[in-house]
Amino acid sequence: ILLIFLGTPVEIQRPRGVPLTKKQFYVENKPFTCLDGSRTISFDRVNDDYCDCKDGSDEPGTAACPNGSFHCTNAGYRPMFIPSSRINDGICDCCDTTDEYNSGAKCENTCKELGRKEREVLQKMAEITKEGFLLKQHLIEEAKKGQQEKQSKVTDMQGNKKQLDEKVEVLRTVKETAEQPEKEAKERHLKAWEAIRLEKDKAKMAEAFLELDDNADGFVSVSELQSHAELDADADGTLTETEAQGLMGGAEQVDTSTFESVWPNIKDKYHSEVSREEADMSCLVSSEVPFGQKVFFLEKTVVKLCVLLIFFKAININIEKELSFDFGPDAEFTYLYSQCYELTTGEYIYRLCPFNRVSQKPKYGGSETNLGTWGSWSGPENNKYLLMKYDHGTGCWQGPNRSTTVKLTCGKETVVTSTSEPSRCEYLIEFTTPAVCQEPANTDLSPHDHEEL
Amino acid sequence: SAPPCGCFILQRWVPLIVLLCVSARAVDRSNFKTCEQSAFCKRQRELKPGRSPYRALLDTLELSDSRITLQLINDNNKVRLLLELYRLQGNMTRVKINELKPLKPRYEVPDVLISDPITETLSVVSQDENSLVLSLGGKDQRLIVSAQPFRLDIVEGPQVLVSLNSRGLLAFEHLRARKDTKSELEQATEQENVEQRTDEDGQIKEEEDKPGMWEETFKSHTDSKPNGPSSISLDFSLPGVEHVYGIPEHADTLKLKNTDGSDPYRLYNLDVFQYELHNPMALYGAVPVLISHSTDRTMGIFWLNAAETWVDISSNTAGKVRVISSEAPQTDVRWISESGIIDVFIMLGPKPADVFTQYASLTGTQSFPPLTALAYHQCRWNYNDQEDVKSVDQGFDEHDIPYDFIWLDIEHADGKRYFTWDPSKFPQPKEMLQGLMDKRRKLVAIVDPHIRVDNGYKIHNEILSKNFYVKNKDGGDYEGWCWPGNSGYPDFTNPEMRAWWASKFAYEQYEGSMENQYVWNDMNEPSVFNGPEVTMHKDALHGGWEHRDVHNLYGLYVQKATADGLVERSGGVERPFVLTRAFFAGSQRYGAVWTGDNAAEWGHLKISIPMCLSLGLAGISFCGADVGGFFKHPSAELLVRWYQAGAYQPFFRAHAHIDTPRREPWLFGPENTALIREAIRQRYALLPYWYQLFYNAHRTGYPVVRPLWVEYPNDVATFSIEDEYLIGKDLLVHPVTDEGATAVTAYLPGKGEVWYDVHTFQKHDGEQSLYIPVTMSSIPVFQRGGSIICRKDRVRRSSSCMENDPYTLYAALNSQGSAEGELYIDDFHTFNFEKAKQFVHRHLSFSANTLSSRNLAPDSQFSTASWIEKIVIIGGSQPSSATLKNADDTESALEFEFDSTLAVLTLRKPGVNAAADWTVILR
């Protein structure tokens, strides 16, 4: 056995490679019992470079046992265990050099330096975490406020809707009663009816605009339009950026007024995500052309109310959609919704729009590639909010559809820090945000070297 | 790595054609010629067995000490041939046939034979009007030359061993001038030739031109054939033979099939995209060596020709149920080559080991690799950048899995300009290499032979200025498409070019390279994406010779020049390690080969065994298949099974296509990680045995992995076995290669022998089919009773780390209670074992309860730190004492344990140095 000198005046004797916690099992000059109890051997067989115990416990300081492990104290840094196959293999594993006592490897004790560096890093991390956590609290408050606002908006609208619904119903009854005697006025009013039809179309258009404007910035962008694959022109199942731009008359984004020129291009294929019943579009469905002054007036009123109703519904649905996302246990990720973050690398500009999509665009021109649309949180069981998964991106040649994993780490700023493609068509984005900063524990940042004693 | 699907390439440069190609899932056979589509093969195959038009002119006989010559005449066209016969040392006969006066010289393959074979006197025993009998020396061996029709028979006593031209398929297309374009000069030469061809009656017969003689078009490629027809053919009959092997590389059974109803086996080095199993199509390499085997005799035929070659196999017993037949079994083999001469070596055995010795005496033995090359290799197309390399390296340590080499495919170079590094992905190659060196690990970077045509690329400019590129038929530099786009192909047949290439591996020339960096030559068939059959045009020119003549040799030269470069950069000290995809006879001298771009399918796992066994029979022992399968995505089960199988094959490397998901060993869950770790650990523990076998292969030419029949030549039951094999002669491996397998049935050979399961020490009798239940952790491996195998059971993170570790001896006793084995140790990486006799070679034997270690090489010297930590005697009995006797006669008692249920005796810590003389006596 050997003596181990720790970085303190106290000197403790124990066989090489034994941690302090197991010292009591290795008593000099007393028979040693394998830690699994399988056999007892004389003490001179401990660390004699021959494996006697099945569990490897008789050779804590040599490479003789295939399943052994070696403990290094690493005074000034962190103590650790290494597989005993790394003892005297010519490679310095323990910063205190104790693993290479007979291999000729020239190891330097780097524990102090490592300890210092680690403390620096921890210090820095702690600062970031602290500030990040404060920011997070702020985010949570904001989110709560926003949520309440939205919730009350929804409630308000639900009330309004109810009133409207009732009005429509009353009017409809009135209209139906009035309809009977006025059939002969049909011809006269056909032309006027056309105006109502246009009104209806406008209502549908407005509904579509609201639905398409995912991030509610008052503009429908090319990428927002791309989410509606049914608008695909060449029927290959995907609406490319070029195709979408074509539909938008070459514009990158359109506001409500310019959307009017886009609507005719898409209205035949456009499929609302809002189901008919939900939007209560039934009030717009009228198989018969109405006639007669009274009926016509009533119909006009119904349509106008209907339009209002639809607006409410569409706004409601966007809000509900937003409310349906899992923005974290304290809604701390809410602020990421409808935002986009970019990182420019050597060749590409990467764009991460959380809860929406990830894309890549060549720096010097060329079309955008979809690297995946929002899938789910996919972190480990204990904290699923550490990873985001985006999938079903553009297909790869002879390969899978592109997908992206976003790895979230605590940071003061919300920023994409790196992108990579570890496997063909599987991307990895590293992203910092205060939203994942944990409450700083009251960590003791002083050196570890007293831990052993 | 690289799959040159025509489509893939088109996709890169001509996007419009993509759609046509995407659906291609397996090999597109129409890209490759059938015999029918290869004009010379079609012409030759139309010739059916019958009476040969050739006649030997016995009066032209000339006899010298080393050879005899005589002329042959074709009675149809009066063209004369010159026949040369040699008796070679070591029981071989060489037969050469060339035109007596060819219009221009015909190509004779250089650089494949290690030296001029040593001849022995060939004496005339008797001669009459129609025959000549020559003595081949001992055992009544005679070579009989029959004059009309011409035929050769090699006999031993009354028994015919082999007959040549007995089916009359000798056909030698003489060079001729093109009729429509004869210049005056050519006509004058022709006149001279015709005199030679005139027979006694003065009649000259002009042969009719046949289609494809002067020009041949395949798909959109035209072969201009300026020299016209030049093909050759000869038949060999092997009486008493039903089993023939060899002529790699084909993705087919070990035992060669009858080709009567199909295409012949083709030997033409080609880059085949997603190759199919079980057919005779050509693949990446070619070794024109065929081994015949029967219980009576093992022989070999080595057809030394580097042009496109087809081999027909016909057996009179194939597919027939053997009733009591009057017809003795016989296998007929016919070789057809497009150009060159007939130069064939008949290796007369008679034992398998004799054939290996004979072939090795001609083309050399397996190079002795540095130990590290026998360890585990981690490859992928591609490890993306330095960070990636670092994190994979760390991944192995985190999961405690050993590995020695990490590999970089084509993406590491700057724009596929080999000898350079991508400046953004690998900005600090030396830093990366140093990081690996600190872990005692190594790296392989690919260097392919196609050179990007780019006047900003130093390598290209130098080749250009030295005029080293292969030329096209019009004399300009030949250019083709490959990974970098437009590429030139250095003429590796030119020794000056090879010397220049080798010099480029010097550390100061190859910037960023270090001594722990080795090389991989891919695409050296050569692969030309837009060339005929994805290779070079046959009318391209290598100096005075057409590519047609040298094709199958190109890849050998690439690997040779590269290996020379690695030796030179170390000042001749270090053994090189170079992996090649294309190869030829003699390639064994330069490094390792792999079976190319396979796929993640069970069938591909299975076929890796016969493919490497066939290569081993043809001299190339250092063989492996991409573990996991190159194309496609393996299931976890397939990947684990492949690691288990690969751990017991000579070259052990995992590799994957760029489009497949990542598959480092720890990505399939902890259970599978543990299974893969265990398989790799078994490999590392067994490295001393692999190393010793490679040393022996290097000395003797014996294959490292062997079909069972090689060691059990009289056991007919072993002749067609290809799902198990022997490593050396002492380990039998039957890997699990079926999905969902719950059992395998292994045949254990040898009447009266015993075999021990290496994992459980359970004993089984030989000459039985053993049913073995298996789980996911099972790798059925058996040690032969009568053998001693040395292992290093302290597995560490790389083989270098295990250098000085102690050995454990596993002595498995036979039914007589004895066993023997060897132990070989040197510095594991330099040529000092050869140059300075610095090695340890011990003979270990156990008999009469005494185990001893004896020096096999008393004139060698080497000191090792390794010692003997444990001796395990399997199948023994319990002694009352065990005594270790050292060289100086000092004695000490050894402690031991005895497991009576398995009869396993374990001697504790003898502690003697592995190089010492010692004896252990059991009482």
Give the other-Cβ count within 10 Å of B279's Cβ: 16
Give the pLDDT score at B700.
97
What chain B residue is nearest to A346 in terms of C-alpha separation?
B424
Closest CA to B120 of B139, B101, B146, B94: B94
Chain segment B897-915, per-residue pLDDT in tens: 999 999 999 999 999 999 9
Q: Which CATH number fits domain A128-272: 1.10.10.10, 3.40.50.720, 1.10.238.10, 1.10.530.10?
A: 1.10.238.10
Directed axis angle between helix B687-700 and helix B352-363, to 10°?
A: 70
* N-terminal to C-terminal alpha carbon distance within chain B: 58
User: What would the two tokens of residue A281 be?
Assistant: 């579009």
B627 CB-contact burial (10 Å; exposed 0-12 / middle 13-18 / buried 19+): buried
Best interface-test mutation with B: which of A417, A423, A426, A430 has the largest number of B CBs within 10 A? Answer: A423
Chain segment B14-27, per-residue pLDDT in tens: 333 333 333 345 67
Bond preceding residue B462 cis, omega within 30 of 0: no
Q: What is the average per-residue pLDDT within B679-689?
A: 98
Chain segment B763-775, per-residue pLDDT in tens: 999 999 999 999 9
Q: Where are the beta strands (DSSP E) in B526-647?
A: 541-542, 545-546, 578-580, 592-594, 623-624, 626-627
Rounded Cα distance, B453 and B463, in Å: 10
Look at the block and give the residue holding tokens 């309004």: A160
Positive or negative torsion for Cα B50, B51, B53, B56: positive
Q: What is the average per-residue pLDDT within A223-252?
A: 77
User: What would the two tokens of residue A351 be?
Assistant: 């764009």
β-strands B442-446, B405-408: how paired? parallel
pLDDT at A295 exceeding the cut of 90:
no
- pTM score > 0.90 for this model? no
CATH class of B35-174+228-350: mainly beta
Is A50 in contact with B805 (Cβ distance < 8 A)?
A: no
Give the pLDDT score at A279.
46
Q: What is the average per-residue pLDDT within B260-278?
A: 96
Annotated catalytic residue within B332, B491, B522, B539: B522
pLDDT at B196 exceeding the cut of 80:
no
pLDDT at B191 exceeding the cut of 60:
no
Q: What is the average per-residue pLDDT within A308-331?
A: 77
Percent of chain B residues past pLDDT 70, beyond the cut: 93
Q: What is the average per-residue pLDDT within A403-424?
A: 92
pLDDT band, very low/low/confident/very high, at A161 (cuts 50, 70, 90) = confident
Give the pLDDT score at A398.
67
Bond preceding residue B526 cis, omega within 30 of 0: yes
Give the pLDDT score at B320.
57
Distances (CA, A) of B207 to B73, B76, B81, B204: 15, 9, 16, 10
What chain A residue is nearest to B793 in terms of C-alpha separation?
A66
The secondary structure of residue B589, as a DSSP letter, is G
Give the pLDDT score at A255.
80
Rounded Cα distance, B720 and B314, in Å: 17
Rounded Cα distance, B733 and B810, in Å: 17
Q: Where are the beta strands (DSSP E) in B148-294?
A: 151-156, 159-164, 171-172, 216-218, 221-223, 232-239, 243-246, 265-267, 289-293
Give the pLDDT score at A11.
47
CB pairs under 8 A between A and B: 61
Give the pLDDT score at B538.
98
Residue A91 has its nearest CB partner, among B660, B801, B870, at: B801
Q: What is the average per-residue pLDDT within B840-851?
A: 97
pLDDT at B13 exceeding the cut of 70:
no
Annotated catalytic residue within B271, B312, B409, B597: B597
Chain segment B106-120, per-residue pLDDT in tens: 999 999 999 999 999
Closest CA to A448 of A74, A98, A95: A74
User: What would the two tokens of residue A402 be?
Assistant: 């592109």
Rounded Cα distance, B465 and B920, in Å: 68
The contacts of residue A250 (CB under 8 Å, 6+ apart) are: none
User: What would the two tokens of residue B547 be?
Assistant: 């590519």
Give the pLDDT score at A47.
97
Closest CA to B652 of B582, B720, B727: B727
User: What would the two tokens of residue B333 be?
Assistant: 């083999």
Q: Within 13 Å, how many C-alpha atoms sit on residue A402's CB side?
A: 21
User: What would the two tokens of residue B537 be?
Assistant: 């045009």
Rounded Cα distance, B31 and B33, in Å: 7
Chain segment B779-838, per-residue pLDDT in tens: 999 999 999 999 999 999 999 999 999 999 999 999 999 999 999 999 999 999 999 999
Cβ(B275)–Cβ(B281) below 8 Å: yes
Give the pLDDT score at A441.
76
Is B659 in contact with A85 (Cβ distance < 8 A)?
A: no
Give the pLDDT score at A452.
40
Look at the block and give the residue holding tokens 């010397």: B499
How high is the mean pLDDT of chain A? 82
| Residue A397 sits at the chain B interface (C-beta within 8 Å) | yes
Cα B198 versus chain centre, distance = 45
H-only helix segments in B35-100:
39-46
Give the pLDDT score at B11.
37
Chain segment B531-569, per-residue pLDDT in tens: 999 999 999 999 999 999 999 999 999 999 999 999 999
User: What would the two tokens of residue B12 be?
Assistant: 């890169």
Q: What is the average per-residue pLDDT within B385-405?
A: 97
CATH of domain B371-709: 3.20.20.80
Q: What is the average per-residue pLDDT within A337-361?
A: 92
pLDDT at B917 exceeding the cut of 80:
yes
State yes or no: is B522 an active-site residue.
yes
pLDDT band, very low/low/confident/very high, at B206 (cuts 50, 70, 90) = low
H-only helix segments in B659-813:
669-685, 687-700, 708-711
What is the residue extent of each domain of chain B? 35-174+228-350, 371-709, 730-922
Q: What is the average per-residue pLDDT within B180-192?
A: 53
Chain segment A117-137, per-residue pLDDT in tens: 999 999 999 999 999 999 999
Chain segment B315-347, per-residue pLDDT in tens: 987 655 554 556 789 999 999 999 999 999 999
- Please give the angle made by the CA atoms of A418, A422 and A424, to the nearest 5 degrees: 125
Q: What is the average per-residue pLDDT within B620-633?
A: 97
Please tell me which residue, A241 or B829, carries the higher pLDDT value.
B829
| Residue A422 sits at the chain B interface (C-beta within 8 Å) | yes
What is the residue extent of each domain of chain A? 12-108, 128-272, 334-433
β-strands B298-303, B289-293: how paired? antiparallel
Cβ(B381)–Cβ(B597) below 8 Å: no
Percent of chain B residues past pLDDT 90, beyond the cut: 90
Is A424 in contact with B659 (Cβ distance < 8 A)?
A: yes
Closest CA to B266 of B35, B593, B596: B35
Rounded Cα distance, B812 and B842, in Å: 17
pLDDT band, very low/low/confident/very high, at B387 (cuts 50, 70, 90) = very high
pLDDT at B211 exceeding the cut of 90:
no
Residue B662 has its nearest CB partner, among A89, A90, A422, at: A422
Closest CA to B440 of B520, B361, B388, B371: B371
Phi, psi of B256 (to 5 degrees): -70, 145
Q: What letter represents residue B660's amino acid?
A: T
| Residue A399 sits at the chain B interface (C-beta within 8 Å) | yes
State yes or no: is B393 an active-site residue.
no
Rounded Cα distance, B858 and B841, in Å: 9
pLDDT at A345 exceeding the cut of 80:
yes
Give the pLDDT score at B26.
67
Tell me whether the CATH fold assigned to B35-174+228-350 matches the one assigned to B730-922.
Answer: yes
Chain segment B480-490, per-residue pLDDT in tens: 999 999 999 99
Check: CATH 3.30.200.20 for A334-433?
Answer: no
Residue A63 has its nearest CB partner, among B658, B794, B908, at: B794
The secondary structure of residue B616, as a DSSP letter, is H
Q: Nearest CA of chain A to the CA of B26: how many Å?
A: 13
Q: What is the average per-residue pLDDT within B869-887?
A: 97
Most confident of A188-192, A364-368, B90-94: B90-94
Rounded Cα distance, B82 and B99, in Å: 6
pLDDT at A370 exceeding the cut of 90:
yes
Give the pLDDT score at B181.
61
Of A229-233, B478-482, B607-611, B655-659, the range with the lowest mean pLDDT is A229-233
Of A209-213, B96-100, B502-506, B745-749, the range with the lowest mean pLDDT is A209-213
Is B22 in contact with A420 (Cβ distance < 8 A)?
A: no
CATH class of B730-922: mainly beta
Bond preceding residue B226 cis, omega within 30 of 0: no
β-strands B309-315, B221-223: how paired? unpaired
Look at the block and give the residue holding tokens 């530099």: B477
User: What would the two tokens of residue A399 be?
Assistant: 């390969």
User: What ipTM was assigned to the predicted interfaces of this complex?
Assistant: 0.90
Q: Within 13 Å, how many C-alpha atoms sit on residue B415's CB side?
A: 9
pLDDT at A305 exceeding the cut of 90:
no
Contact residues, chain A, for B869 at CB < 8 Å: 49-50, 64
Rounded Cα distance, A7 and A453, in Å: 10
